[in-house]
Amino acid sequence: MPELPEVETIRLGLQKYLVGHTIEEIEILLPKMVVGEVQRVTGTKVKRIQRYGKGLVIELDNNYSIAIHIKMTGQFIYKGTRVPKGTKVSEKVGRELPNSATHVIFHLDKGAILYYNDIRQFGWIKIVKTADVFGLPFFKELGPELFPSSGQEPLTQEQFQGILKASKGPIKPLLMDQKKIGGIGNIYANDALYVAKIDPKRKAHLLSEQESEALFEALKQVLTKGLEVGGASEWQYVNALGVAGNYQNFFQVYGKQGKKCPRCGEAIKKIVMAGRGTFYCPGCQK
């Protein structure tokens, strides 16, 4: 599932290409994908794009917004004259648009189009008053994040340590709990724990202050790298122009079961925790 670096990369692309456009029509090919009154946003101009954790909010000039969660396989692909020549659209998008994965088409002024694709159909798009965005359960319950981009206060080391101390469960699922910490998912949780040399099965409240600090810095490190290289395109993720990211080329342990740990040489192991594949080195993650 796209995490903070991937969703932030999409936000930056939509901020660059979508802002200023007028939504002339929304063509809904899969009715369950959109909740709300489409007429409320028809004819409105896009003001800004906000991100909260893994959620996106397209703010419009009439005090309405389009709140979005792309979940596992959602894609936004912008097409228009402003797209740089030579932009290489990933095969993850498909050869042509629209295609069988296209469920919503935003027809914009100046002949531009924004496609929403979602093979697994887990994502959602909700049209709400801007003032009501934080009444939606996902946004209302979202925890603080390390790299906020829409005016929130960033998660501090002290807050992070408090979250860990309050949890009796294992550290890895805690890092992925969006109600505790926003934006972190399976990829970056696995890699950060490896960087910090912490076993994902360790009880969160038993981590020492030194280990908590090391993990906090490791999370910042892997998220920063993810942002630098445009996210990870392990599944269907692409940026707002349909271009794949590159963090998959920098995975620390994620997806590398059976390969040798570059630090100690022991084989990287895969287990399942809270229903998710968990990768770690039993030799140097203690």
For the annotated catalytic residues, the residue numbers are: 2-3, 54, 276
CA–CA–CA angle 194, 195, 201 (5° rounding)? 35
Q: What values do phi and psi take at 275, rounded to 5?
A: 80, 5
What's at 97, amino acid-wise? L
